[in-house]
Amino acid sequence: MKSAVSGAMLLAISAVAQAADLPWTFQPLPEVAPAPEDNPITKEKLVLGKQLYFDPRLSITGTHSCNSCHNLSAGGEDGRAQPVGVYGRKGKRGTQTIWNAAFHTAYNWDGSTNTLEEQAQKHILDPNIMGMPDADTVVKRINNIPGYRQQFENIFNREEGKEGVSFNTIAMALSTYERTLTTPNSPFDRYLRGDDNAISAEAKRGVREFLDVRCASCHFWVNLAGPIPGLALKQGEGFYELFPNYPGTDYERRYKLADDLGRVYYSKDKTDTRMWRMPSLRNVAITAPYFHNGTVKTLDEAVRVMAKTQLGKELTEQQVSDIVAFLSSLTGEFPEQTLPRLPETPKHTAVAGHDH
């Protein structure tokens, strides 16, 4: 188990953030996300990673690419309460957005993977998602495609020995592409940079309410999700919060918020019961439904639920609509993506033997 940080532990920091000092609490999103030293972003790796991201041959049935659930034409997720993987199987928890995911220090709702690279591998092998039985099968599938094999040999041979296609290099290429999936220049980012007209008066009131009711105790900094790599936490150290924090509310019952015990299933540490890795609020207006189980369908209701279950507060309808206006100003610019051409498996289907 990796060391965990909770919102409470950062209270000293976030108390400062409650002040009028917006540029400390929030930061405009950089256009480029940090990359680890052992996997720098290169042009060739990016081209390869994009092909892999859109390639359904990474799933056992040849039906599901990363983009099937993490839809880059939309909010980087699937708009559903639960993802649908291979064979129509449902995942347990809602798909989280891939946009700006590179700014997290741990992955999945429960922080059960430390890096984008690990996250990609986990989902490829998850029987309810892409359903590959093991790493060897993945490597064999990709190795069977000459256009991939050649690229891997070119990219991962020189500095790193004769690795070529491996489960490791597949994840490295995928993560390289994912690190470029950022949505900078939201109206709120432009506001932070000094354009006073970038957001509405309603949204400006919303920012103030967001700070005053203490949403920003946890939803702060670049990704409105707490620390980013290099700020307070290292990669692999997650930023967690108890949810629901005020137990026993009507909301908790109605939306089944306490049924899933969160991180404890993974860590086996009782103190992780109902602990969840902080989700980002960027693009939150276009990533309904909400929460780990997707039971809340609208953003205004999600705001009410959070105020009550996390902060013990009832918001006025004015407060709710102001905060929703602020949150809507967090929808960024989505860089245009050209659809990659996938390398062929010449004269042969790539999913032969698994076409069931």
* Residue 95 per-residue DSSP state: P
Q: Is the Cβ–Cβ distance between 102 and 232 less than 8 Å?
A: no
Q: Are 165 and 142 in contact (CB under 8 A)?
A: yes
Look up residue 57 and give its DSSP letter: G
> In angstroms, what is the minimal distance from the CB of 274 to a second copy?
24
- Which DSSP state fits 242? E
End-to-end CA gap in the chain: 37
Owner of token pair 């999103």: 29
Using CA atoms, how far residue 313 sits from 79, 95, 103, in Å, is 28, 28, 29
Q: In angstroms, what is the minimal distance from the CB of 241 to a second copy?
A: 23
**Whose Cβ is closer to a second copy: residue 215's or residue 288's?**
288
Nearer to a second copy, 86 or 130 (CB): 86
Tokens 């690795």 identify what position? 163
Closest residue by Cα to residue 105 from 95, 115, 120? 115
> CB of 316: closest distance to a second copy in angstroms?
18
* Closest distance to a second copy from the beta carbon of 63 (Å): 5
What CA–CA distance (Å, rounded) separates 55 from 342?
7
Q: How many CB atoms lie within 10 A of CB 3?
A: 9
Q: Which is nearer to a second copy, 150 or 157 (CB)?
A: 150
Q: For residues 105 and 186, which CB has a smaller minimum distance to a second copy in the complex?
A: 186
Nearer to a second copy, 147 or 236 (CB): 147
Least distance in angstroms from the C-beta of 345 to a second copy: 8
The contact set with a second copy (CB under 8 A) reads 51, 54-57, 61-63, 68, 71-75, 78-82, 84, 86-89, 285-286, 288-289, 294, 297-300, 324, 328, 334, 336-342, 344-352, 355
Minimum distance of a second copy from residue 355's CB (angstroms):
5
- Residue 195 CA to chain centroid, in angstroms? 28
> Min. distance of Cβ 224 from a second copy in angstroms?
17
* Residue 197 to residue 192: CA distance in whole angstroms: 11
Q: Among residues 61 and 180, whose Cβ is nearest to a second copy? A: 61
Nearest CB to a second copy, comparing residues 194 and 346: 346
The residue (of 121 and 295) whose beta carbon lies closer to a second copy is: 295
d(CA 283, CA 330): 6
Q: Give 228 or 307: the residue with its C-beta nearer to a second copy.
A: 307
Cα distance between residue 336 and residue 34, in whole Å = 20
Q: Which two tokens stand for residue 197?
A: 């007209």
What token pair was written down for 64? 């599901």
Quote the distance between the C-alpha of residue 254 and its chain's center.
26
Smallest gap from residue 144 Cβ to a second copy (A): 12
Helix (H) or strand (E) holding 150: helix 146-155
Smallest gap, in angstroms, from Cβ of residue 327 to a second copy? 9
**Under a CB-based contact definition with an 8 Å cutoff, are residues 49 and 190 in contact?**
no
Which candidate, 234, 239, 187, places its Cα nearest to that of 26?
A: 187
